[in-house]
């Protein structure tokens, strides 16, 4: 494979038109697989242009678009900013226009054309030493091929690119010509025609077949020789690929398409007809074009603009709400009510706050602050709110730009069964209006999987050119079903709200422990301990009872200082014990410069002292304590470093669990851990590791 632009990871975000040509034999549906999803083009001049499976460039019958080359037949798209491939930035945009062509006659042919001769077009003069070229106006050649004789009934791949002031044309992946010029191919948005120039003479259209037509803005995809695709261009992910989608609001599909136009109807793209409307002129937000990555937004004035659905949109039970917004003043993005003015069933604030309110008296039953800042007027923010649907004790997750911000338990959330409408950009009484832009809203009637959240993150980031940390793709192993504690260590820098992501949802009390984003083995952040006073504490629970059961306790850790203090204690990674000078009974794991020590029981019935290790400061290690039957094993970076056997089943210790601290009498500095930890997991009921293994730097699934 030859050189392709380093920006090719965002191909979907840069693709503004993609016609693979696949369709029913003789069909008239020409599907745009880009994120723009342009409506089916108009067949102008006749009905002979169809999809056909008679041939394709890949040696099969996947389908192509057939052009008869008679009269003035062509496919036409209305004027759109997407087709401004040249001048929306100073000096002109980069671009890529590529397609595969099969010629059935030797004739002058207009292949792709923007408006008439006044804009740009791709044109073949004849099959012998006469193009194709991309041209500005009727005579200025930007770049083209002038020394090739093409055969009839043969597939060819063509790619035209612009990188700065350099234009290139490739034939079957081979660079054939380069031209450096300040000339730009395009000035204002015009309509796009495929297969003909409306200003040309009859019969000067495409004679043959076209396939894999793709236009990319802001990206010169090919800069050196490359391998021609052997399959159709992959289709970009779209939210409709997730079956639980119930509402999808995308400003780019508002019918007006005119800048600063008042929005009467915000069409739901999910197919469920959950449209949002506004009949009162003074309350209509506006449609603004070319605001973020060339895409449109709906702008609210912060005074009295709002849109309202005539029915309830947010589902009862499990749900996921995804918003992309860019606002300058706080307000409410989304609200529901029970038919009583000011009585909100759900309020989703622009700062990431999420409020569920009582259905009878409006009192708040649950609220969470995403701690994502007050406003985000500079860069759009992607926020995902997810609720498992439980009325009491339900788990609510909030992610902002791919990072887990809150994970809390909802107390007695109402079902919102009586909600009669949903409001966008305001609360249910038309106040608390946001000041700023809504770029996208998606509502699903399920909790999304990590994979689907990851696909959504990537789709939105590509669409709006946002830099985010995609939702983690997690691991499931033998211990997944029996996880009773799972601390990912994910959170904003210096923030100390530590969350248990297991189904047990333990409350974790942090004393001084905070997240740090500058140092972690993977992910967004890790937990930082200062070695003198920081630790985590979790109340006693049956989950910590290891009597007559297998278990696994593991984490990633890194020391930034070795333990100080008396008593011979190392730094404690974890400890379940009592605060006395003796410290027993306990279950603890300690570390220092050259050893790990795992001890359990009132008289150290299990005692594994793995000396001779090298635990270098600043290096991340993985450690695992495993009980299988009466056998205990200690692993460091997946290698067994010690084993011992309990004489009988251990008894329940009945003490709180501390992470980062050991037995610490009042005024003593013994046992504090200095450094970082991540992905601390307690599995009850499974000995996950029974032989050497390779630890993976990745998250375990919640």
CA distances from 296 to 80, 437, 464 (A): 11, 9, 10
Give the range with max mean pLDDT: 11-15, 369-373, 512-516, 602-606. Answer: 512-516
pLDDT score recorded for residue 166: 93
pLDDT tens-place string over residues 213-270: 999 987 899 999 999 988 888 888 889 888 999 999 999 878 766 888 999 999 999 9
Which H or E run contains 101?
strand 95-103
pLDDT score recorded for residue 465: 66
Whether 229 is covered by a domain: the verdict is no
Residue 611 exposed, middle or buried by CB count within 10 Å (0-12, 13-18, 19+): exposed
pLDDT score recorded for residue 619: 96
Are residues 350 and 291 part of one domain? Answer: yes
Bigger pLDDT: 40 or 568?
A: 40
- Which residue, 433, 464, 495, sits at the end of a domain? 464
Whether residue 436 contacts residue 286, with contact meaning beta carbons closer than 8 Å, is answered with: no
Determine which of 210-214, 560-564, 632-636 has the lowest per-residue pLDDT on average: 560-564
pLDDT score recorded for residue 229: 85
pLDDT score recorded for residue 402: 43
Q: Percentage of residues in the chain with pLDDT exceeding 70?
A: 78
Whether 552 is covered by a domain: the verdict is yes
Whether 332 is covered by a domain: the verdict is yes
pLDDT score recorded for residue 377: 45
Whether residue 321 contacts residue 344, with contact meaning beta carbons closer than 8 Å, is answered with: no
d(C-alpha 71, C-alpha 666), whole Å: 94
Bigger pLDDT: 388 or 101?
A: 101
d(C-alpha 565, C-alpha 649), whole Å: 33
pLDDT tens-place string over residues 273-296: 999 999 999 999 999 987 877 778
Would you list the DSSP string of 203-250?
A: T-B--EEEEEEEEEES---BSS--PPPSSPPPPPP-GGGSTTEEEEE-
Q: Is the pLDDT assigned to residue 386 strictly greater than 50?
A: yes
Q: Is the pLDDT assigned to residue 358 strictly greater than 50?
A: no
Mean pLDDT value across residues 458-470:
66
Supply the mean pLDDT for the chain. 80
Q: Is the pLDDT assigned to residue 59 strictly greater than 60?
A: yes
Q: Is the pLDDT assigned to residue 392 strictly greater than 50?
A: no
Whether 222 is covered by a domain: the verdict is no
Are residues 155 and 88 part of one domain? Answer: yes
Bigger pLDDT: 386 or 634?
A: 634
Query: Could you identify the residue written with the tokens 């049956």?
Result: 542
Residue 395's CATH number: 2.60.120.200
The distance from CA 333 to its chain's CA centroid, rounded to whole angstroms, is 20
Pairing outcome for strands 42-44 and 15-19: unpaired
Q: Is the pLDDT assigned to residue 396 strictly greater than 60?
A: no
Are residues 205 and 247 part of one domain? Answer: no
379 band by pLDDT with thresholds 50, 70 and 90: low
pLDDT tens-place string over residues 133-170: 988 877 788 999 999 999 999 999 999 999 988 999 99
Would you list the DSSP string of 349-416?
A: ETTS-EEEE-TTT--EEEEE---S-S--SSS-EEEEEEE---SSSEEEEEEETTEEEEEEEE-S----
Are residues 450 and 484 part of one domain? Answer: no
Are residues 405 and 541 part of one domain? Answer: no
Whether 231 is covered by a domain: the verdict is no
Dihedral angle, C-alpha 690, 691, 696, 701, nearest 10 °: -20
Residues 6+ apart with CB under 8 A from 424: 249, 266, 276, 306, 307, 308, 309, 333, 334, 438, 441
Are residues 496 and 456 part of one domain? Answer: no
Are residues 458 and 487 part of one domain? Answer: no
pLDDT score recorded for residue 412: 38
Whether 207 is covered by a domain: the verdict is yes
pLDDT score recorded for residue 8: 43
DSSP code of residue 167: E
End-to-end CA distance of the chain: 39
Whether 698 is covered by a domain: the verdict is no
Q: Is the pLDDT assigned to residue 2 strictly greater than 50?
A: no
- Which residue, 464, 492, 525, sits at the end of a domain? 464
How many independent structural domains does the chain possess? Answer: 3
Q: Is the pLDDT assigned to residue 470 strictly greater than 70?
A: no
d(C-alpha 268, C-alpha 247), whole Å: 6
pLDDT tens-place string over residues 82-127: 787 765 443 457 899 999 999 999 989 999 988 755 578 899 999 9
pLDDT score recorded for residue 117: 53
380 band by pLDDT with thresholds 50, 70 and 90: low
d(C-alpha 13, C-alpha 241), whole Å: 17
Whether 525 is covered by a domain: the verdict is yes
Q: Is the pLDDT assigned to residue 272 strictly greater than 70?
A: yes
Residues of the domain holding 449: 240-464
Bigger pLDDT: 607 or 86?
A: 607
pLDDT score recorded for residue 490: 79
CA distances from 386 to 312, 423, 446 (A): 18, 19, 8
Bigger pLDDT: 453 or 428?
A: 453
Are residues 515 and 451 part of one domain? Answer: no
Are residues 380 and 419 part of one domain? Answer: yes
Are residues 568 and 460 part of one domain? Answer: no
Q: Is the pLDDT assigned to residue 175 strictly greater than 50?
A: yes
Are residues 171 and 261 part of one domain? Answer: no
pLDDT score recorded for residue 114: 84
Are residues 161 and 248 part of one domain? Answer: no
Determine which of 222-236, 404-418, 676-690 has the lowest per-residue pLDDT on average: 404-418
């Amino acid at each position: 494979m030859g050189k392709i632009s380093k920006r090719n990871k965002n191909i979907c975000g840069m693709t503004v038109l993609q016609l693979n040509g696949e369709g029913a034999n003789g069909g008239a549906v020409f599907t745009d697989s880009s994120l723009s999803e342009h409506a089916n083009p108009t067949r102008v001049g006749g009905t002979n242009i169809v999809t056909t499976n008679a041939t394709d460039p890949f040696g099969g019958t996947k389908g192509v678009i057939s052009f008869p080359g008679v009269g003035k037949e062509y496919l036409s798209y209305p004027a759109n900013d997407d087709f401004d491939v040249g001048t929306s930035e100073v000096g002109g945009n980069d671009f890529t226009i590529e397609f595969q062509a099969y010629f059935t006659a030797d004739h002058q042919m207009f292949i792709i054309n923007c408006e008439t001769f006044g804009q740009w077009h791709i044109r073949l003069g004849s099959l012998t030493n006469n193009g194709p070229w991309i041209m500005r106006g009727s005579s200025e050649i930007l770049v083209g091929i002038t020394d090739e004789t093409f055969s009839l009934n043969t597939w060819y791949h063509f790619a035209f690119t612009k990188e700065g002031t350099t234009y290139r044309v490739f034939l079957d992946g081979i660079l054939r010509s380069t031209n450096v010029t300040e000339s730009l191919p395009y000035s204002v948005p015009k309509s796009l025609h495929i297969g003909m120039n409306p200003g040309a003479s009859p019969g000067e259209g495409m004679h043959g077949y076209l396939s894999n037509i793709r236009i990319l803005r802001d990206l010169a995809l090919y800069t050196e020789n490359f391998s021609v695709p052997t399959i159709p261009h992959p289709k970009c992910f779209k939210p409709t690929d997730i079956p639980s989608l119930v509402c999808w609001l995308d400003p780019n599909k508002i019918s007006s398409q005119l800048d600063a136009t008042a929005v009467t109807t915000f069409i739901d793209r999910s197919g469920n007809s959950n449209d949002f409307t506004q009949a009162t002129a003074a309350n209509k937000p506006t449609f603004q074009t070319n605001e973020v990555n060339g895409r449109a937004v709906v702008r609210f004035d912060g005074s009295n603009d709002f849109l309202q659905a005539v029915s309830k949109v947010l589902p009862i039970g499990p749900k996921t709400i995804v918003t992309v917004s860019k606002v300058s003043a706080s307000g409410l993005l989304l609200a529901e009510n029970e038919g009583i003015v000011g009585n909100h069933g759900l309020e989703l604030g622009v700062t990431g706050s999420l409020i569920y309110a009582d259905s009878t008296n409006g009192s708040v039953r649950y609220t969470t602050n995403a701690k994502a800042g007050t406003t985000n007027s500079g860069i759009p923010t992607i926020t995902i709110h997810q609720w498992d649907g439980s009325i009491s004790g339900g788990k609510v997750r909030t992610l902002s730009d791919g990072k887990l911000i809150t994970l809390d338990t909802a107390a007695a959330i109402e079902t919102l069964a009586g909600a009669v409408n949903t409001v966008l950009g305001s609360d249910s009484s038309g106040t608390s209006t946001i000041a700023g832009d809504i770029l996208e809203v998606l509502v699903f009637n399920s909790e999304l999987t990590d994979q689907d959240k990851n696909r959504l993150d990537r789709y939105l980031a590509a669409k709006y050119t946002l830099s985010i940390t995609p939702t983690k793709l997690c691991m499931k192993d033998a211990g997944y079903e029996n996880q009773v504690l799972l601390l990912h260590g994910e959170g904003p820098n210096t923030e100390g709200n530590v969350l248990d992501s297991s189904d047990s949802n333990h409350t974790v009390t942090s004393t001084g422990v905070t997240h740090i984003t500058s140092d972690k083995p993977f992910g967004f952040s890790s937990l930082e301990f200062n070695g003198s006073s920081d630790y985590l504490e979790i109340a006693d629970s049956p989950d910590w009872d290891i009597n007559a059961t297998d278990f696994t306790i593991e984490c990633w850790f890194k020391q930034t200082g070795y333990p100080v203090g008396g008593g011979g204690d190392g730094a404690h990674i974890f400890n379940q014990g009592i605060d006395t000078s003796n410290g027993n009974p306990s279950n603890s794991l300690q570390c220092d410069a050259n050893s790990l020590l795992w001890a359990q029981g009132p008289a150290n019935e299990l005692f594994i002292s793995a000396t001779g290790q090298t635990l270098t400061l600043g290096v991340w290690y993985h450690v695992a304590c495993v009980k299988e039957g009466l056998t205990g094993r200690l692993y460091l970076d997946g290698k067994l470093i010690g084993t011992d056997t309990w004489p009988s089943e251990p008894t329940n210790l009945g003490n709180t669990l501390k992470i980062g601290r050991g037995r610490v009498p009042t005024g003593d500095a013994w046992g504090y851990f200095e450094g970082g930890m991540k992905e601390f997991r307690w599995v009850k009921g499974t000995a996950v590791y029974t032989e050497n293994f390779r630890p993976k730097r990745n998250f375990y699934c919640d």
